[in-house]
A and B are shown apart, each in its own frame.
Chain A
């Protein structure tokens, strides 16, 4: 379920890339387009007739709406995101989880799918354990998580690779093609969080290869023929 959700988003982004002609890098304060038939979308504003960028990123004009696609920056938690995090602390009523980004996240005891003895919270997940969770709400200055969904829970063993959250769609690839390729070729289990935390488990060699591949994708995210490069890197025979 978690992965279908990400896949959907990937598809949306892939679909967008077909219109490459209108994209360019813009800096804050730069006028992207002018004329009164444009409307400001994400990270843009309208001043007079001009649509002006509010952040650094790729400008994208679709029809009348102008928006900016971020290429850098920390993870911005949104409701419904599937994330991977590491338990930072345990309180009397739940876990504090590091998911990157501007805030720590809280996983209440009640959002855990099985019964847990209040006096023995770390029986389920102790400090340093890795969880795959879903963001259930984002309030001013706090993020709440839940484990009550299919595919969520504790991830045993393995390791975490951190990448920029804006590059996550590239790692997954169209309909999960890229991630499946890496899983196949390295013989590892991989779970990708939308916060840019990637959990990998397998044989040592496989884990190492997977990490190198993911780091390569992060570096080359915006280059053409990425799939081909990765196939070459992993030694896929045609």
Chain B
């Protein structure tokens, strides 16, 4: 119940980008590319005192069994926005006023927890692009299935309807144990919520270790065991 699905992580998968990363947890696979800091157009969106992060989250049409219609949707805009705030909380944007950092996240394959995989990949890509950041960010979806707290829920678990049903709580937590993003979809008791926070912190420290290993040049694949690049 407190197990994360086997993770896979790698940086530098998109040579054209300034920074890029892949993060997979079980069947959920996300890739992220970072371009910038670069000049922001249109100029009226520029902030005179700081740069901005512009996130774009999208699912590829073949990522789910029902073809996902490409392009922005209500859902992908929401996820882009929460990812943006989860990441801008740790990045030092004051270094390049008037600039923009473009973060693009693509979901290659979806099995729940895509926004978390996206944040994990994007945080690695940002670090890989040499962006000045206070902390790393790791993200995990905690669920309550009936009355059990479950870490890293899958689509099957997410669709649970028996008993108390299912609750989905995505967390993004920094390496300093600060929460930068939290959503809650469903119902949960206050006492159980505290359990969920502890579970999330625990899981995020494990994810951080994977992210760190990947950034240090390893191709991490928990299905096979790591190998050197």
Is B215's CB under 8 angstroms from A25's CB? yes
Contacts of B216 in A (CB 8 A): 25, 27
Is A27's CB under 8 angstroms from B132's CB? no
Contact with A along B77-118 (1 / 0, CB 8 A): 000000000000010100011110000000000000000000
Contacts of A103 in B (CB 8 A): 39, 96, 98-99
> Would you call the interface of chain B mostly helix, strand, loop, or mixed?
loop
Give the docked Cα–Cα distance between A55 and B132 (Å). 5
Give the docked Cα–Cα distance between A55 and B37 (Å). 14
Is A102's CB under 8 angstroms from B38's CB? yes
Of residues 76 through 113 on chain A, the ones whose CB sits less than 8 Å from some CB of chain B are 101-104
Is A36 interfacial (CB 8 A cutoff)? no
**How far apart are B177's CB and chain A's nearest CB, in angstroms?**
11
Is A151 interfacial (CB 8 A cutoff)? no
Is A28's CB under 8 angstroms from B130's CB? no
Is B98's CB under 8 angstroms from A29's CB? no
Is B155 interfacial (CB 8 A cutoff)? no
Is A150 interfacial (CB 8 A cutoff)? no
Give the docked Cα–Cα distance between A71 and B18 (Å). 11
Is B39's CB under 8 angstroms from A72's CB? no
Give the docked Cα–Cα distance between A63 and B145 (Å). 54
Is B176's CB under 8 angstroms from A29's CB? yes
Contacts of A57 in B (CB 8 A): 130
Our pick among A28, A71, A101, A102 for the contact of B134 (Cβ within 8 Å) is A28
Is A43's CB under 8 angstroms from B97's CB? no
**How far apart are A125's CB and chain B's nearest CB, in angstroms?**
21
Is A56 interfacial (CB 8 A cutoff)? yes
Give the docked Cα–Cα distance between A30 and B96 (Å). 23
Contact with B along A1-44 (1 / 0, CB 8 A): 00000000000000000000000010111100000000000010
Is B175 interfacial (CB 8 A cutoff)? yes
Once A27-B212, A56-B215, A102-B51 are accepted as A-B contacts, the answer to whether A73 and B130 lie under 8 Å apart by CB is yes
Contacts of A202 in B (CB 8 A): none
Is B98's CB under 8 angstroms from A141's CB? yes
- The CB with the most chain B CB atoms within 10 A, among A56, A72, A104, A166, is that of A56
Our pick among B18, B131, B133 for the contact of A29 (Cβ within 8 Å) is B133
Contacts of A45 in B (CB 8 A): 134
Our pick among A71, A73, A166 for the contact of B131 (Cβ within 8 Å) is A73
Is B70 interfacial (CB 8 A cutoff)? no
Contacts of A27 in B (CB 8 A): 127, 136, 211-212, 215-216
Is A72's CB under 8 angstroms from B129's CB? yes
Of residues 37 through 78 on chain B, the ones whose CB sits less than 8 Å from some CB of chain A are 37-39, 46, 48, 51
Interface size class of A (residues with CB under 8 A): 20 to 34
Give the docked Cα–Cα distance between A211 and B136 (Å). 36
Is B176's CB under 8 angstroms from A72's CB? no
Is A54's CB under 8 angstroms from B92's CB? yes
Is B170 interfacial (CB 8 A cutoff)? no
Contacts of A116 in B (CB 8 A): none
Once A27-B211, A29-B176, A30-B212 are accepted as A-B contacts, the answer to whether A74 and B38 lie under 8 Å apart by CB is yes
Is B133's CB under 8 angstroms from A104's CB? no
Give the docked Cα–Cα distance between A101 and B130 (Å). 12
Contact with A along B178-216 (1 / 0, CB 8 A): 000000000000000000000000000000000110011
Q: Which B-chain residue is minimally distant from A142 (CB atoms)?
A: B98
Is A28's CB under 8 angstroms from B97's CB? no
Is A70 interfacial (CB 8 A cutoff)? yes
Contacts of B90 in A (CB 8 A): 28-29
Q: Which B-chain residue is minimally distant from A43 (CB atoms)?
A: B132
**How far apart are B215's CB and chain A's nearest CB, in angstroms?**
5
Q: Which B-chain residue is minimally distant from A140 (CB atoms)?
A: B97
- The CB with the most chain B CB atoms within 10 A, among A45, A74, A101, A103, is that of A74
Give the docked Cα–Cα distance between A72 and B46 (Å). 25
Give the docked Cα–Cα distance between A27 and B138 (Å). 13
Contact with B along A40-65 (1 / 0, CB 8 A): 00010100000000111100000000
Contact with A along B14-29 (1 / 0, CB 8 A): 0000110000000000
Can you name 13 A-B pairs with beta carbons within 8 Å? A25-B216, A28-B136, A29-B90, A29-B134, A29-B175, A30-B212, A54-B134, A55-B131, A57-B130, A101-B37, A101-B38, A103-B98, A103-B99
Q: A56-B215, A73-B19 are in contact. List 4 more A-B contacts (CB 8 A).
A: A27-B216, A28-B132, A29-B135, A103-B98
